Amino acid sequence: MEIHTELLQSSEGAQPWKINAGDFRLPERPKEPLLASLVLKSKERKIARYYKKQEKLLKDFNEMESISSAGFTADAPTEDELRKLARSERMAINISNFANLILFVAKVYASVASRSMAVIASTLDSFLDLLSGLILLVTSRAMSKPNQYSYPIGKKRMQPVGIIVFASVMATLGFQVIFESGRQILEQSQPNTDSVKEKWMIGIMVSVTAVKFILMLYCRMYKNKIIKAYAQDHFFDVVTNSIGLITAILGIRVRWWIDPLGAILIAIYTISTWAKTVMENVWSLIGQTAPPEYLTKLTYLIWNHHEDIKHIDTVRAYTFGSHYFVEVDIVLPGEMQLSQAHDIGEDLQVKLEQLPEVERAFVHVDFEFTHRPEHKAMV
């Protein structure tokens, strides 16, 4: 099946040097019945994903039109909205930290009452929640106090660094639990049980799991990466608390070894989940390139910036923490005055930095594009 977009005729009065997002449209596709969509073949699924990417790209082009004409996105938040968002984000962090403290105290009692290895593993996880929450809180406050002299490009890289420390601590817990649970299985040590304390343990663990589930939904409302880390941690607690409760009950009423086995499962889940989180943030710190769709979006904005841009030599975007650094080389007429070329380049830089994903943009102006690369080759 051939996939393509259709280019419409330019409307009257349009500037001929510009690319107009309204000139593009996707060919109409017949809608598949719901039942048929569940059994799409591999090739058809790839085609469906392609069209979704194209639709997203056309939407991004319309966003770039807004920046190109007005200098800002139509739905860009105001300063008051940004302040309110910052306050609500701080509230989400404070609520999570306070809840983690209360739930940790409750789970300490459940651990003492049950002496379940799985419950103890879940309690140690809550202790690390407090430690990790302190790390993320310090990181968030440090980012909110920029110092252009000591940190001339800001402190936003503290965000992924804080998350890496957070994830590393969580993964360390996993290895400790595996060793202790393995020792318990080898020694066949079985904890004493008490029916009254067992009921208290069940009530506490069910309540803790319910609270964590509510906190997870609350934190998922935000786009801030630190709060997303809290949301991931709350989800992790829902899973580990559920496994810990079920295996603790089965260990008491069915087979004793189910309890340390459940603790090992919790530990493996801990290591795999947070190892993935560490790698994602490591790649963001070492400068991973932006996806091709995003580079296409930037190229659209650059070309439509000014009619005197004769050539786009380079469009590069790469992660430098949680946001992108963008490098652009454009070619202007050689006879153009320096002041005019400077204004074109500076205005383009301002437009690029209006994008929420862009932290800094660097625009280089040249008069030709046949020269060898000027910069030192990256190793």
How far apart CA 303 and CA 321 sit, in angstroms, is: 27
- Rounded average pLDDT over 317-340: 90
Tell me the CB-side half-sphere exposure of residue 336, using CA atoms within 13 A.
20
Tell me the CB-side half-sphere exposure of residue 159, using CA atoms within 13 A.
20
Q: CB under 8 Å, gap of 24 or more: what pairs does 188-197 form?
A: 188/256, 188/257, 190/256, 191/114, 191/115, 191/116, 191/259, 192/115, 193/114, 193/252, 194/113, 197/113, 197/114
How far apart CA 245 and CA 242 sit, in angstroms, is: 5
- Name 48's Cβ contacts closer than 8 Å, sequence gap at least 6: 40
How far apart CA 85 and CA 64 sit, in angstroms, is: 24
Query: Which candidate, 354, 356, 359, places its Cα nearest to that of 327?
Result: 359
Strands of 5-78, DSSP E: 6-7, 24-25
Contact, 122 vs 185, CB < 8 A?
A: no
Position 39 scores a pLDDT of 54
Is it the case that residue 331 has pLDDT exceeding 90?
A: yes
Quickly list DSSP for 299-318: HHHHHTT-TT--EEEEEEEE
Neighbours of 94 (CB within 10 A): 12
Which of 36-45, 202-211, 249-258 holds the top average pLDDT?
202-211
How far apart CA 250 and CA 257 sit, in angstroms, is: 9
Q: Of how many residues is the chain composed?
A: 379
**Residues 121, 122, 128, 134: what is their CA dihedral angle, to the nearest 10 degrees?**
-170
Position 282 scores a pLDDT of 83
Question: Each residue of 275-300: pLDDT tens digit?
Answer: 777 888 888 888 888 988 899 889 98
DSSP structure class, residue 183: H
- Name 134's Cβ contacts closer than 8 Å, sequence gap at least 6: 97
**Residues 204, 210, 212, 214: what is their CA dihedral angle, to the nearest 10 degrees?**
-150
Q: Which two tokens stand for residue 164?
A: 């890496």
Entry pTM: 0.64
Is it the case that residue 46 has pLDDT exceeding 90?
A: no
Band of pLDDT at residue 72, cut at 50, 70 and 90: low
Query: Which candidate, 337, 325, 323, places its Cα nearest to that of 361?
Result: 325
How far apart CA 137 and CA 282 sit, in angstroms, is: 20
How far apart CA 325 and CA 315 sit, in angstroms, is: 11
Is it the case that residue 8 has pLDDT exceeding 60?
A: no
